[in-house]
Structure 1
């Protein structure tokens, strides 16, 4: 029987991505992120992957045995399933009997990538735990099929690899289309989408702007590569006082009326009320999710 590492019932806003090397685990778990994601892929050199894999499995095993005193969820990013190290990662997780609540699969370009991971881990019938990292033009072109995979829990955008694959700049304007397409497709599938991290640690204004854009596009949250980015990302996803007041007024008016009503001289119908309820959810650090599909988040 598989041991599930820190299962949760909703999504989270901030993901902290950290190399799966000893010494980083406890710091990542105590940083305050909704998900502390141990990375076996890009942040680990080829000659260090075997050691990182063993260390990550050990950390996940300890977390499954004792989650006291910690907040958030401990997740794992595998190497791509089509690589030797990706296959070794899958075998190691399967042999451990663990099923991380968040298992991020990179380079996903078809539903088969997700289904392979779920099958090896015997996760097809349990709560969805596989998150697809969407980072190529081919993946963007196959989003409806990918997001229909049964074990899918959510999606994450990979800006760096997408920019490298297309030759575009890693800028807001250049990446507006794939980010919009991913957020919209995820919403259509009733799944949360997490935006790519912002990699310039010293550009606070750039991080704030990109996090606000991610929220405006409909992303449920955003990745971070350093703990000091966490408060700013969380603040960017929190509605302003005026937004919250307007949303609460719309919800209150809608609850007291049948059908279309007016708030502050503006007509408020069901779509606007639904948007207002989403704002009130975000005020409690709960990301917006479609009610059409209940998924365990991060």
Structure 2
């Protein structure tokens, strides 16, 4: 059972020290726009980035706006949380990197949760230890969803960034997220020029159960949205399956020559609910 509907399709991230990119990130069509305090910011610039990042959340009528902080068990992560707690306008979503236990999320919630403000907390799963502890991480009551961190995971394991090399990790993450009733977002593709490769990877990610995919450049957003947005044909088929399920009393039947039953009815109903509710 889904705990709560969560934003899928394209997520984009932009460095906190590039305010000239803020508006573009917020208006490019991504479902979630994140400002980054972690990997894109040099250690010497962390405090300047924290102060600059507050401007990211002042835009009205924006999509879901979030921030990727530094790992909460580090000094820089602690400073991030203290600064965020003092923001006048706060982020909707906090992406927590290097999550390896439910306690990491409890630390963030303990600092930021306040009367009238409980940000959506998403875990960036990017280490072998995190994959060994997925069940306990997914049990964290404040966890809204998970994001796959391919680059850090591949670096730690010593594997490549190709689809086959990371297939086990992706499938494990999607399976655990589904068991917990939360969404999963795939890692960005790091080749900024090869949009055909991005589309293939996004299609594969959707096929194994991801709800969306990260983007690190504006040109990637439309490709990702096009893959993860249900097509008119997919919607029509889902409606036909829902109708067939009702007529059959949720028993086995067929639609366009394909056998369908309860799992198909549930999946089709979820798609129809998403479309009608968006």
TM-score of the two chains, using structure 1 as the length reference: 0.85
CA spacing shift, 1:124–1:264, aligned 2, 3 Å: farther
- Counterpart position of 2:52: 55
CA contact (8 A) 1:40 1:52 kept: yes
- Counterpart position of 2:228: 237
Equivalences for 1:266-281 in 2 at 5 Å? Answer: 266-280=258-272
CA contact (8 A) 2:99 2:125 kept: yes
Provide the C-alpha distance between the structure 1 equivalents of 2:115 and 2:149, rounded to a whole number of angstroms: 25
- Counterpart position of 2:76: 85
CA contact (8 A) 1:15 1:33 kept: yes
Matched, 1:15 2:7: no
Question: How far is the alpha carbon of 1:123 from its aligned partner?
Answer: 5.6
Secondary structure in 1 matching 2:170: helix
Give the ranges of 4+ consecutive aligned residues of structure 1 lying more than 6 Å apart after TM superposition.
none
Provide the C-alpha distance between the structure 1 equivalents of 2:115 and 2:141, rounded to a whole number of angstroms: 7
- Counterpart position of 2:182: 191
CA offset digits 1:37-77 (Å, max 9, x no partner): 000001111111111110112433x24xxx2xx33111100
- Counterpart position of 1:3: none
Matched, 1:263 2:255: yes
Matched, 1:250 2:247: no
Provide the C-alpha distance between the structure 2 equivalents of 1:231 and 1:30, rounded to a whole number of angstroms: 12
Matched, 1:164 2:161: no
Provide the C-alpha distance between the structure 1 equivalents of 2:115 and 2:169, rounded to a whole number of angstroms: 28
RMSD of aligned residue pairs (Cα, Å): 2.2
- Counterpart position of 2:37: 40
Provide the C-alpha distance between the structure 2 equivalents of 1:207 and 1:284, rounded to a whole number of angstroms: 28
Secondary structure in 2 matching 1:16: strand
Provide the C-alpha distance between the structure 1 equivalents of 2:169 and 2:89, rounded to a whole number of angstroms: 33
Secondary structure in 2 matching 1:23: helix
Question: How far is the alpha carbon of 1:233 from its aligned partner?
Answer: 0.5
Secondary structure in 2 matching 1:172: coil
Equivalences for 1:287-298 in 2 at 5 Å? Answer: none
CA spacing shift, 1:238–1:283, aligned 2, 3 Å: farther
CA spacing shift, 1:113–1:242, aligned 2, 3 Å: same
Secondary structure in 1 matching 2:124: strand
TM-score of the two chains, using structure 2 as the length reference: 0.91
CA contact (8 A) 1:197 1:225 kept: yes
- Counterpart position of 1:293: none
Question: How far is the alpha carbon of 1:128 from its aligned partner?
Answer: 5.7
CA offset digits 1:109-159 (Å, max 9, x no partner): 000001110011126996561110000011011111101111111110000
Question: How far is the alpha carbon of 1:245 from its aligned partner?
Answer: 3.3
**Equivalent residue in structure 1 for 2:95, among 98, 104, 112:** 104
Equivalences for 1:26-37 in 2 at 5 Å? Answer: 26-37=23-34
CA contact (8 A) 1:13 1:285 kept: no
Question: How far is the alpha carbon of 1:221 from its aligned partner?
Answer: 0.7
Higher mean C-alpha deviation, range 104-113 or range 257-266 = 257-266
CA contact (8 A) 2:6 2:183 kept: no
Q: Number of paired residues? A: 273
CA contact (8 A) 2:94 2:119 kept: no
